[in-house]
């Protein structure tokens, strides 16, 4: 790997940063990283589950994905990416994986335990102690229309978005030659 980015890597980095920051900002009200719960993990198992899930989906996967794409784009050393519209569209698709990851995470956070009343990743008692009426995911759901309150809708659409982002580098060989 060279010390400087080529134009393709620079464009991807710019797009990825903008769209991933937007996706991360969308999670701010979901109370994902209550890291103090890790110290008292026996008492706060659901918070620990949520931290681990969020870390994998919103931290680990994006870093690995970014590394993978940057490696793939290293071959475009003399390629003038900013002059190739199909290439820019592919880079745009690749860089929006954060939105798919957010949708997947949101759908998984909607998961309820077998009884169907309590969320798997949120403990109602934690929020009652803080004098909050509902857990953050329920507040987020209450602010959405009924057709957007289906976890499978979020999981499916997020997975499709992620799949398109991951498969778009394969299209490089067909569009950029």
In angstroms, rounded to a whole number, what is the distance separating the alpha carbons of residues 79 and 70? 14
pLDDT at position 166 over 90:
no
3-state secondary structure 71-138: HHHCCCCCCCHHHCHHHHHHHHHHHCHHHHHHHHHHHHHCCECCCCCCECCCCHHHHHHCCCCCCHHH
pLDDT tops 90 at residue 160: yes
Least confident of 2-6, 49-53, 86-90: 2-6
Q: What distance separates the 2 farthest-apart alpha carbons in the chain?
A: 60
Residues 49-83 pLDDT 10s: 888 999 999 999 999 999 988 888 887 766 666 67
Distance separating alpha carbons of residues 120 and 51, to the nearest angstrom: 12
β-sheet bridge partners, residue 119? 112
Task: Check residue 27 and give its pLDDT.
Answer: 87
Q: Supply the pTM of this predicted model.
A: 0.83
Among candidate residues 91, 95, 75, 102, the one with its CA nearest the CA of residue 159: 102
- Among the residue ranges 52-56, 103-107, 171-175, the one predicted with the least confidence is 171-175
The residue among 93, 55, 74 whose CA lies nearest residue 4 is 74
The whole-number pLDDT of residue 82 equals 66
């Amino acid at each position: 790997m060279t010390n400087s980015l080529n134009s393709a890597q620079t464009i991807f980095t710019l797009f990825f940063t903008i769209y991933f920051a937007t996706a991360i900002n969308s999670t701010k009200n979901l109370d994902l990283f209550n890291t103090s719960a890790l110290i008292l993990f026996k008492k706060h198992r659901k918070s620990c589950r949520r931290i681990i899930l969020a870390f994998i989906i919103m931290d680990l996967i994006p870093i690995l994905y970014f590394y993978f794409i940057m490696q793939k784009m290293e071959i475009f050393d003399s390629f003038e990416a900013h002059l190739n519209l199909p290439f820019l569209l592919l880079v745009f698709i690749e860089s929006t994986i954060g939105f798919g990851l957010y949708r997947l995470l949101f759908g998984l956070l909607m998961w309820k335990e077998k009884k169907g009343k309590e969320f798997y990743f949120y403990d109602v008692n934690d929020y009652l102690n803080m004098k909050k009426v509902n857990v953050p995911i329920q507040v987020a759901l209450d602010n959405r229309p009924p057709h957007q309150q289906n976890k499978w809708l979020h999981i499916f659409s997020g997975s499709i978005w992620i799949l398109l982002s991951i498969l778009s580098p394969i299209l490089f060989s067909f569009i950029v030659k």
